[in-house]
Structure 1
C-alpha cells in the first residue's frame, strides 16, 4: 500500500510502538539468564566474548536475514504469521495430499506454540523490568509482584482501544527506549572497545567448541535475544512489511547490538555485574527512571505478542480452525487491526497465573524458549515449502536454504529441551491444549457439515418441488433473506417455513458466504447471482465471497446485489433475515473420539452470535432451530 511520506512515517512510528516491543526488551534479561549461577557458566573473558558473539549472529541470521529479509516476503495479500503460511500451503498444489495435511497440522501446532509465547512474554518482560527496583534498593523486592500485576491489568484492559491507538501512544516512547539502549550501550562499549571484537563469529564458535555442555545450555539463554521474531511476522498485517523493515534496520537492530556490546563490556570489567547487567549499565541516579522506562517498554513488548495473537486468532476463525468469536475492528484505515475479547482475557488469566506461580523472571526464563524455538523451526519448514511449491524455486536452493536455517533453529530448540522439567512444560502444555482445540473444531465442523448437507437436501430440487406443490404455496408480501453455509443445499429455515407454515415471501434471497484463502476480495468480485433455473419465481441464490480479513456484512451485500438486479424486486428497507440454528446432539456414530465430541460441544457453545457476526438487524432476524448428530 502506497502512503504519503508523512503517513508512512506515522505507520513506521506505530510499528516501532507495537511490533518491536518483545524483541526490544530482551536485553533486560538475556545476558542475566545466560550467566545465572544455576547454569554454571562463569563470566570469564572467553565466555563473555562467545555469548555476545552468539547473540549478535543469532539476531542477524534469525531476525535480519530469515524473517525480515526472506520470510516476510511470504505474505498472504499483506497478512503475515504462521496462519498465513498455512493458508499458502493449503493453496499450493503439493503432489502428496498426505504431505499437505501433515504440513498444515504442523503449522497449526506452530500457531499453538505462539499462544504459549503470548502468555509468557508479558509475564517475563514486565517482571524483569519491575525487578530493577531490587537493584535500586533490595528492600523493595516485596513490591515487585503487586506492581507487576497492576501493570499487566492496565495493559490488558487497554486492548479494547485497538493496536493503532496503542501504537501511536507507544511509538515515541519506544523510539526513546531504543535511543537510550543505543546510547548507554555505545558509551559502555567505548570504555571497553575490545568488546567490539565479539562481532567476529570465531568467538562464538570457539566458545561452543571449548565449553561443551555449558555452552549448549547457554544457547537456551542466547535464544531469548530473538524472542519476538515471529511477532514481527504475525503483526505484518497491522502495519505492513515496509514499515517493519524500515524500523528494524534503521533503529531497532543497531540499538540492540550496541546494548548487548555495552553489557558485555561491563561484565568484562566487573564479572559480578552479570547478576543484573542491564540496570548496572546506568549510573545510580538513572536507575529509577530506567525502571520506569523499562516497565513501559515491557508493556509494549507484551503488546507485540498480544496483537499478534489477535491476528492469528482471526485468521484461524476464517480458515475454519475456530468457531466464529467476537472480533472487533479497532481501525477504520487498517483492516488488520482487531481486538478479540475472549483471547485477551484468556491470555490475561494465564499471565497472572505465571507471575504468581513462578514469582521471578529468572524462573520464568526456564519456561521461555521452547515455544519460541519450536515456532522458528516450523516457520522455516513451511516457508521453504511455499518457496518450492508456489514460487517454483530450484530444489537445490530450497534444500540449501532450509538446511542452513533449520540447523540454527533446531540447535536452539535442542538446547531449550533442557528446560522442560524446569518450566518449559508450560508452553508445551498450552500448545497441546490449543492444538487439540483447533484440530477438534476443524474435524467436528467437517462432520457436522457433511451431515447437515444430508439434512438440507439439494437446493435446486427443493425449488422444483415448490413449483409442483398443489395447491401452490401461498406468497406473502416482503423480502426474506435466508443464510445458508452451503450454496448447493436448502436452508433448514426455508424448508421449515414451507413445510410448517406453507408460505413463501414474494422475494426470497438465499445467501451463502464463502471465505477465500486471501485476506481481501475486491468489491467487483464480491458476489454472484443465480436464478436457480427460473426467472419468474422470485427465488434467487446469492454467493458472497469474502477474504478472511473482510467484514461479513450481509445487509451491505444485499444492497450490492439489488444494485446488480435481482428478480422479485427485493425491498431492502425492512427485509426479514432467517438464520438456521443447529443444535448438536452427541451420538455413538463414528468419526470422533468421545472426549473430542465433548470438547467440540463446549467450543460450539462459545461461538459468537451469528446476528452480530453478519451485522444483521436484531429486530428483523428470525432464528429457527434444527438438530444434527455428531
Structure 2
C-alpha cells in the first residue's frame, strides 16, 4: 500500500515537474529552428544544412541535458537541493580552501546571472506567445505589449499559490502540449525519414566544415533548445531528482526530438516553411487551437525560472549572501517549495519594464542566452570540485568529463557574446548589480563580525566580568541571543549599564549548517557554563527556517526554566555612516541600505514579541 502511494506521489510530482520545470525547454521548438536560419548568421537553407542544424540540436539535447544535467549534475545534489548555491555550499567545505574565494565569486556571479535570466525569460516567452496571434489576425498587434504586461501581472500574482498548485494546473497543459507537438512531429518525420540521419554526429561536424564562421555563429541559436537546462538543477528541491528524470525521459525528450525531426522534414521538403516551421507542422484547421495552446505553453515556460529564483533566494539568505527577507514555505511535504514575495514582485516589475522598453520578442532575443550560458559554465566549474572533493574521482577522469562539458558550455557562451549590443547588455548589467550587492553584504557582515569580536568577551571570562559589574541578582530567566561564539554584546551592555544578572541565564546561538536539512534529533546542543548559566546552540540547515518558540518549549524542562518568567534579549545594531572614514564610501552606504531592508529577527526566528527586550548598539561603519 505504501509502495503504491509512493508511486502515485512520484507520478504526481513528475506531472507537476512538466508544468514547472520543463516549460522553458518545452517551448523552444516555437523559435529555435527558425532562429538557426535567420538573423546575421543566416546560412543557406538546403538539405545538408538542415540536417546539420538538426544534428546540432539533437546532440545538444543529448549531451547538455541528458548527459550533463540529468545524469551527472543532478546527482551532485546537496541532500535533495540543487542550484548554483547548493552546489557551492556542498563543495566549499571539503578539501583545500585555497580556491574558496574564487569559488565564492563564481557562485555569486552564477546566481546573479540566473536572476538576470529569470527576468528575461518571462518577458520574451509571453511576448512570443502573444505575437503568435498575428498568424490569425494583425488587429491585436499594436496592443501586444499591454496584453503581455497583463498576462505577466496575472502570472506573478499566481505565484503565491505555491509550486504544488501551479504544477497541478500547468502540468496537464504541458502534458497535452508535449503529446501534440510529438505526434505531429512524428507524422512529418515519417513522410521524410531522411531526417533520421541527423542522429549521426557526422552531419553536425560537416555543417561546421561547410559553413565556417557562419556555422559557428549558429550555436547562438542552437543554444535556445537547451536554455531550460539550468532550471532542471535549480528546481530540483521543488520536486526531487527522480520525478524530474522520469518526466524528461518519458515525456519531454521524446516529444522534443520528434518535433525537431518533424520541423527538419518540413524544411527539406518545403524551404518556404522557414517563415514558421513549427506551425507548418499542423493543418490549417488546427492553426487557431495550436496558437492558443502555444500561447498557454509559452506563458508556462516562465514558471521554471521563476521557481528557480525562489529556491536560489532561499539558499542565498540562509548562506548569508543577501539580507534576511521573508520566505514562505508553500508545501508541508516538500520543504524545498518556497515563495518569496519581494523577489516575485521585483521580477514582475523588471519583466514589465522590459516588455514596455523592447516592445517585441525579436528585440529581446539579443538578451536571451547570455545569462543562462554563463550560469552553465559556472555550474561546470563547481562540478569539477564536486568530482574531485566529494566523489574523489582521479583528476584525469574529472578533467576529461568537465572539459567535455565545458567545450559545449564555452562554445555557447562565447557565441552569445555577439548579442551584447542587441540587448545582451541587460542581463550582464543586472547580474553585475546583483553580484556586487552580494559582495557588499558579505563584506559588510565580515567587517561587523570583526568589530563585535574585538569588543566581545570570551565565555571563559564571563565569571570575572559578572563579579566586576553585578550589584544584584533578579528573579526570573533571561535568554540572550548570540551571533557568534562570544558572549553577546547585548548581555554586556545590560550587565554594565543595569548592574544586574538574572537568576538563570541562557546564551543561545542559531547556527546555519552546510546541509539543507539538519537532523532534528541533533538540532540542540547544550552545555553548562556555570551554575544556572547555559550555552545553547540550535542548528538548522540552510533550507530550514528557524522556530525558536518551538525549540525553547522543547528544551525548557531540560533546563529547569519557566516559560512564563523567561524573556528574550536581542541586540539590535544601529548602523551609522562614519563620515570621517574616506575608504569604501559607496560600499558602506550600500551595506547600510541593505541592512535596513533585512527582515526583523523576531519574525525570522519566530519569537513571541511580548517576550522580547531589545538592546540597541550603535556602530559606525
TM-score, with structure 2 as normaliser: 0.96
- Tell me which residue corresponds to 2:475: 476
Q: 1:378-423: per-residue Cα shift (whole Å, max 9, x none)?
A: 1111102210122111111011111111111111111111111111
Q: How does 1:43-122 map to 2 (within 5 A)?
A: 43-94=45-96, 97-122=97-122
377-386 or 34-43, larger mean C-alpha shift: 34-43
CA distance in 2, matches of 1:12, 1:419: 35
Q: Deviations over 1:204-238 (max 9, x none)?
A: 11111111122122110000100111110011111
Deviation at 1:334, TM superposition (A): 0.8
Provide the rounded CA distance (Å) in 2 between the counterparts of 1:400 and 1:283.
Answer: 47
Runs of 4+ in structure 1 off by over 6 angstroms are 588-592
- Match for residue 233 of structure 1? 233
Q: Is this contact kept in 1: 2:132–2:295, CA < 8 A?
A: no
Give the match for residue 520 of structure 2.
Answer: 523
Q: Are 1:556 and 2:553 an aligned pair?
A: no
2:617 is matched with: 626
Q: Contact (CA 8 Å) 2:92, 2:103: kept in 1 or not? A: no
Question: Could you report, residue by residue, the CA deviation over 1:568-617 in whole angstroms, capped at 9, with x for unpaired residues?
Answer: x2112463222111012233688962211111111111111111100111
Secondary structure of 1:277's aligned partner: coil
- Structure 2 SS opposite 1:91: coil
Say if 2:130 and 2:147, in contact at 8 Å, map to a contact too: yes
- Who is 1:404 aligned against? 404
* 1:164-216 superposed Cα distances (whole Å, 9 cap, x missing partner): 11111111111111111111111122222222222221111111111112212
Equivalent position to 1:594, from 563, 585, 602: 585
The equivalent residue for 1:357 is 357
Corresponding residue number in structure 1 for 2:253: 253
Report if aligned partners of 1:473, 1:498 keep a CA contact under 8 Å in 2: no
Q: Distance in 1 between matches of 2:165 and 2:550?
A: 27
3-state DSSP of counterpart to 1:139: coil
Match of 2:502 among 496, 501, 505: 505
Secondary structure at 1:324's aligned position in 2?
A: coil
Task: Show structure 1 runs of 5+ residues with no match.
Answer: none
8 A Cα contact 1:448 1:629, kept in partner:
no
1:464 Cα offset (Å) = 3.3
1:275 aligns to what? 275
Offset, 1:256: 0.7
Q: Which residue of 2 aligns with 1:433?
A: 433
Partner Cα distance (2:467, 2:37) in 1? 81
Could you tell me which residue of structure 1 aligns to residue 300 of structure 2? 300
Alignment map for 1:130-149 (pairs within 5 Å): 130-149=130-149
CA distance in 1, matches of 2:355, 2:458: 55
RMSD between aligned alpha carbons?
A: 1.9
Secondary structure of the residue aligned to 1:456 is: coil
Separation in 1 of the partners of 2:11 and 2:614?
Answer: 48
Q: Distance in 2 between matches of 1:139 and 1:34?
A: 29
Whole-Å Cα distance in 2 between the matches of residues 480 and 297 of structure 1?
Answer: 56
Q: Secondary structure at the match of 1:584?
A: strand
State the partner residue of 2:38: 36
**Range moving further from structure 2, 490-499 or 66-75:** 490-499
State the partner residue of 2:540.
546
CA contact (8 A) 2:108 2:435 kept: yes
For residue 278 of structure 2, give the secondary structure of its aligned residue in structure 1. Answer: helix
Instruction: Summarize deviations over 1:344-372 as a string: whole Å, max 9, x none.
Output: 11111111111122222222121111111
Do 2:367 and 2:422's aligned partners in 1 also have CA atoms closer than 8 Å?
yes
Distance 1:396 1:592, change over 3 A: farther
